[in-house]
């Protein structure tokens, strides 16, 4: 997949340039079977989310009904139509995680961030989501921040995890470790 850059998080790239990038992504993929999801992924990487005007442009550019494009976006949880934070926190509330304290971990995170599930902090640093299973039931409760999975998380350790992402660069991407 072609790397797409230019998230508007810092407000550096203007709308015209972002739309030019989107048009290029659409053009590269227009005639490829099954290209809708990769196009949506690349568009979300460019814009940081998938606003309605982007979905309409993809619909027109790919020759697909808007209902199909919007349906795919609403079906898959990794797509978002609203701006997300730089870091997406997902708390597992599958059965094992829930029974072993996942709900208390979620409440601790909500309290520390001052947001509810589905919301983003005002500084756009964190978005909070709930997941149903990370496939790590023996390590419950689990929390994922971006691509890093924290296992056996306790509410008392929530501040430590969040602080690692507040002090940019100290968080270990792609690692899996106990919290």
CATH code at position 168:
3.40.30.10
Residue 112: give the domain boundaries: 87-178
Are the CB atoms for 69 and 58 separated by under 8 Å? yes
Are the CB atoms for 50 and 25 separated by under 8 Å? no
- At 126-173, the pLDDT tens digits run 999 999 888 999 999 999 999 899 999 999 999 999 999 998 654 444
Angle between helices 52-62 and 66-75 (to 10 degrees): 130
Q: What percent of the chain has pLDDT over 90?
A: 74
82 found inside a domain: no
Please indicate, yes or no, whether residues 65 and 129 belong to a single structural domain of this protein. Answer: no
Residue-level pLDDT at 37: 97
Instruction: Identify which of 37, 38, 49, 31 has the alpha carbon closest to the alpha carbon of residue 3.
Output: 38
Q: What is the distance of C-alpha 47 from the center of its chain?
A: 12
Indicate the helix (H) or strand (E) that contains 18.
Answer: helix 15-29
Please indicate, yes or no, whether residues 118 and 153 belong to a single structural domain of this protein. Answer: yes
Domain count, the chain: 2
Please indicate, yes or no, whether residues 36 and 59 belong to a single structural domain of this protein. Answer: yes
The burial of 156, by beta-carbon neighbours within 10 Å (0-12 exposed, 13-18 middle, 19 or more buried), is given as: exposed
1 found inside a domain: no
Residues, the chain, total? 179
- At 89-107, the pLDDT tens digits run 999 999 999 999 999 999 9
Please indicate, yes or no, whether residues 32 and 107 belong to a single structural domain of this protein. Answer: no
């Amino acid at each position: 997949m072609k790397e797409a850059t230019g998230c508007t998080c810092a407000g550096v790239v203007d709308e015209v340039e972002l739309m030019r990038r989107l048009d290029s992504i659409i053009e590269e993929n227009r005639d490829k079977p099954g290209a809708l999801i990769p196009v949506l992924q690349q568009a979300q990487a460019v814009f940081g989310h998938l606003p309605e005007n982007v979905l309409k442009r993809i619909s027109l550019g790919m020759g697909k009904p808007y209902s199909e494009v919007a349906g795919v976006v609403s079906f898959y949880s990794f797509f978002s139509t609203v701006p997300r934070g730089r870091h997406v926190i997902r708390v597992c509330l599958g059965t094992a995680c829930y029974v072993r304290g996942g709900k208390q971990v979620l409440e601790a995170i909500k309290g520390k961030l001052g947001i509810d599930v589905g919301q983003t902090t005002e500084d756009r640093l964190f978005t909070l989501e709930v997941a149903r299973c990370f496939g790590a039931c023996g390590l419950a409760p689990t929390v994922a921040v971006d691509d890093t999975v924290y296992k056996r998380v306790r509410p008392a350790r929530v501040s430590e995890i969040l602080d690692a992402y507040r002090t940019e660069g100290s968080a270990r991407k792609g690692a899996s470790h106990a919290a």
